[in-house]
A and B are shown apart, each in its own frame.
Chain A
Amino acid sequence: MNIALCILGIFFAGALAVGVAARRGISMNFEEWSIAGRGFGAVISFVLIAGEIFSTYSFLGATGWAYAKGAPVFYYMACASLAFVIGYWTLPRLRDVAQAHQLVSFSDYFEQVFASRMLGAMAAIIGLGAMIPLLVIQMKGLGIIVHESSYGGLSEAAAIWIGLAIMVGYIVVSGIRGAATVAVVKDALILVVALSLAIYLPIHYLGGYGRLFEAVEKAHPGHFTIPDTGLNATWYNSTVLLVSLGYYLFPHAFTSVYAIKTRNAVRKNTILMPLYQMLIVCMYIVGFTAIIVVPGLTGSSIDIALFVIVKKTFPDWVVGIIGGAGLLTALVPGAMILLNASTMFSKNVVKRYVLPQASEATVTTVARLTVPVYALICVTILFYSGWSMVPISLFASNLLDQLFPAFVLGLMPRTTKRPIPVASGIVAGIALLAYVSIGFGGSLAQAFPNMAASIASVNIGLIALGLNVLVLIVCWKLTCVTERKLVAER
C-alpha cells in the first residue's frame, strides 16, 4: 500500500469521525437535523456556504479550464462577487422570510410565500431533479481525485462508493451539523493547500508570476484574451449575469441561509465572500503553471492537470494530502445535496401527498431513510448512464435559474403574490430550455438558424429567463385585468 493511499484512508476515516461526532450533545428533531435549529453564527455559516462554492469544480475544473481555455475562466470571479453584491439585499430578507414562515426545505419557500401547493410541487420537482446531476458531478470528481492522488491504488468506483457511504453515514447521524463540521476542516485545509500551491509552483518552476504569465503568453498567444467566437465577450457577459442571478438557487446553498441565526451574520457573510474567491484564483495560477510545466494535455487529461503537475513536483505524502483536501471539497457539497434532497422529499412529497397525518418523528425517519436511497439513485445514474455530465449539469443549473423571478417576487413584502403568472413563466422558460438543450445540444444557433450571430452566443439560460419574465409580466397584467373585471361585475 502506498503512503498517499494511507493518507487518503486517514482523510476518509477522519471525515466520518468528525461528521458523526458533530451530533454530540444535541437532541435531534427535524428542524435541528435539517437546518441546525436556525442557530448557525457568522463563522460556521460562512464555511458552509464557502463549502458549496469551493467544490470539486474549483479544485479540478478551475485548474483544467485555466489550462485549456485561458481568460474566459475568469468569468467565475465576476459572477461569484456580483452574486454576493445582490445577496447583500436578498439573503437577509430570505432569512427573515424563512424565520417568519418557519421554512425548512427549498420548495417550502415557493409553497408558503405564494400560498400555492402547485408552485411548491414545481419547485420540489425541479430541485430534486436538478440535484441529481449536481451530486453525480461531485462524485465523479471525488473518484478522479482519489484515483489520481492514490497513484491508481484505489479505483474511481471504489472511491465513489466509500465517499458516498461516509456522507450517508454522517448526514443520517448528524444532519447539517455533520456537513458544517467537515466544512470547517475542509476550509482550513484548502486555504493552506491552495495558497501553498499558488505560491510555490510558479516560483519553483519559473522564478515568479511575471515570468509565468509572459511564458504562457509566448507559448500560447491569445490565451489571456477573450476569443471572437465560442467563449466570446457575449458568452462571458451573459454567463456572468445568469450565474450571478441564480447563484443561491442551488437548493443546498438556499437552505444554508435558513440555518443562519441573525441578519447581521448573513450580511457579514456577503461582505467576506468576494474575498474568498481568492482561493479560486490560486487554482487558476496552478493551471497556468501547468501549461508550461506539463504541456500537451488533451481531452479528459485536462481535468487532471492539477494532479499531473503535483505528482511531477512533490513526494507521495504531499500528493496524498492534496488529494485529501480535494476529497473534502466533494464531500461537503455532496452531503448538503443529500440532506436537502431527503428533507424536501420527506416534507414536501411524503408528508404533503402520502402521509398527511405523519408526526414530526415519522418525517425525520423518512428523511433519514431517503438519504441512502437518493445516494443509490445518483450512483446508479453515474455508473450506468452514458450521459455526458457537463451539459446535463448546465441544464440543471439553467433549470434552477428559472425560479429566480419567483424568488425575488417572494422577497418583496408589498407585492401581491400571484402564483399562476409565476408558474406560467417557469413553464415557458423550461420549455424553451428543453427544446434547445435536448433537441439541439444547447446550441441556439442550431435551434434557430435565422437568429443573428450576436444573439446566438448569449447563454441559453439567460434567453430562457428572459422569456420566463416576459410571460410572467403578460400573465400578471392579464390576471390584474380579469380580477378588476370580476370586481366590477360584482
Chain B
Amino acid sequence: MKAVHLLAVLPFVGFFSGTWVVRYWGPLLFRAPTLLIWNLAWMLASAGILWIIYAADNKSSTEQP
C-alpha cells in the first residue's frame, strides 16, 4: 500500500458530505443546484485522483525489474 493510494479516501469524504453541504449552503450555488455542482466536482476529482494513482502505480511497476 503506497501513500498515494490514500488519495482514494477523498472522493468518499466528498460525496458523503454532499447532503451536509446543501444544508449549509442552500439549494443553489452559482445559479445551479448545490448538490449537482458538488457531485459534478467530485466526479471529475474521482477520475483525476484515480488517474494520479494509476500513473504512480505504472511508474513504480516500470521501475521494478
Contacts and interface: CB of A to CB of B under 8 A. Distances in A.
Interface of A: 71, 74, 77-78, 81-82, 84-85, 88, 209-210, 213-214, 217, 222-226, 233, 236-237, 240-241, 264, 267-268, 270-272, 274-275, 277-278, 281, 284
Given A224-B33, A224-B34, 12 more contacts: A74-B33, A82-B12, A85-B12, A223-B27, A224-B27, A236-B18, A267-B54, A267-B57, A271-B51, A275-B44, A275-B47, A284-B36
A368 B18 CA distance: 46
A236 B32 contact: no
- Interface residues on chain B, size class: 20 to 34
Majority secondary structure of chain A interface residues (helix, strand, loop or mixed): helix
Contacts of A272: 47
28 contacts: A71-B33, A71-B35, A74-B35, A77-B39, A81-B39, A82-B12, A82-B15, A85-B11, A88-B54, A210-B31, A210-B32, A213-B31, A214-B31, A222-B27, A224-B22, A224-B33, A224-B36, A226-B19, A233-B23, A240-B16, A267-B54, A268-B54, A271-B54, A274-B44, A274-B50, A275-B43, A275-B47, A281-B36
Interface of B: 8, 11-12, 15-16, 18-20, 22-23, 26-28, 31-36, 39-40, 42-44, 46-47, 49-51, 53-54, 57-58
B32 to A, nearest CB: 5
Contacts of B36: 71, 74, 77, 224, 281, 284
Could you say which of B23, B36, B57 has the most chain A C-beta atoms within 10 Å of its C-beta?
A: B36
Contacts of B58: 264
Majority secondary structure of chain B interface residues (helix, strand, loop or mixed): helix
A77 B54 CA distance: 22
Contacts of B34: 224
Nearest to A241: B16
B32 A78 contact: no
Contacts of A213: 28, 31-33
